[in-house]
């Protein structure tokens, strides 16, 4: 019976020393939490985010959910999907890449099979970023095709 009390006293002493260390060294608890990017003004959906609208702040809340932008370079040039409020972290899921091709614009359709390459004028039927599969209309024949958007704004048509 005496041994249990001694163990309880040792456990309480250890717990008290940890609590005191947390009170006198608050920086130790938040050390290594990093930085988060927050807007300095309201950013509306569809708006391109510039570096002047952002600032990096130190994260002090240990309960902050992950998935937020940690550097300005990660956010600069992206498009907002929803309203971003000043002083709030920016979730990466609320951002998208700018569209490489926009609906209704003039683009080039390219089809390659072996050594043969066919190129035609086209018009995308939907907006698309690099790497996305979009539908486009061949301006000469009116046929609707699907293809992958390339970085230079052309669409590589997929074989059926």
- Measuring CA to CA, how many Å separate 10 from each of 7, 23, 77, 131? 5, 20, 56, 61
**What CATH number does residue 149 fall under?**
2.30.30.760
**21, pLDDT greater than 70:** no
- Lowest-confidence pick of 2-16, 79-93, 128-142: 2-16
Of residues 39 and 51, the one with the higher pLDDT is 39
Q: Does residue 21 form part of some domain?
A: no
Note whether 90 and 122 are same-domain residues: no
Q: Does residue 74 form part of some domain?
A: yes
Cβ neighbour number for residue 14 with a 10 Å cutoff? 10
Q: Does residue 113 form part of some domain?
A: yes
Q: Does residue 2 form part of some domain?
A: no
Note whether 89 and 146 are same-domain residues: no
Note whether 89 and 114 are same-domain residues: no
Q: Does residue 20 form part of some domain?
A: no
Domain boundary among 97, 128, 146: 97
Q: What is the pLDDT of residue 30?
A: 43
Note whether 37 and 79 are same-domain residues: yes
Query: Considering only CA atoms, which of 150, 111, 116 is closest in space to residue 133?
Result: 150
pLDDT per position as a tens digit, 116-151: 999 999 999 999 999 999 999 999 999 999 999 999
**What CATH number does residue 64 fall under?**
3.90.1210.10
Domain housing 138: 107-157
Note whether 88 and 132 are same-domain residues: no
Alpha carbons 67 and 33: distance in angstroms, whole number:
13
Q: Is the full-model pTM beyond 0.75?
A: no
Q: What is the pLDDT of residue 12?
A: 54
Note whether 92 and 125 are same-domain residues: no
Note whether 84 and 40 are same-domain residues: yes
Place of tokens 């370079």: 73
**109, pLDDT greater than 70:** yes
Q: Tell me how many domains the chain contains.
A: 2
Q: Does residue 129 form part of some domain?
A: yes
């Amino acid at each position: 019976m005496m041994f249990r009390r001694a163990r309880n006293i040792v456990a309480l002493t250890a717990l008290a020393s940890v609590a005191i260390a947390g009170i006198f060294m608050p920086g130790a608890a938040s050390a290594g939490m990093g930085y988060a990017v927050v807007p300095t003004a309201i950013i509306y959906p569809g708006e391109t985010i510039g570096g002047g609208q952002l600032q990096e702040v130190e994260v002090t809340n240990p309960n902050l959910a992950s998935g937020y932008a940690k550097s300005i370079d990660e956010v600069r040039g992206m498009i907002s999907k929803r309203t971003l409020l000043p002083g709030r972290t920016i979730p990466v899921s609320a951002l998208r890449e700018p569209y490489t091709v926009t609906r209704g614009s003039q683009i080039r359709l390219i089809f390659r099979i072996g050594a043969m390459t066919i190129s035609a004028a086209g018009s995308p039927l939907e907006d698309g970023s690099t790497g996305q599969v979009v539908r486009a209309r061949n301006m000469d024949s009116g046929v609707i095709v699907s293809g992958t958007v390339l970085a230079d704004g052309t669409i590589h048509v997929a074989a059926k």
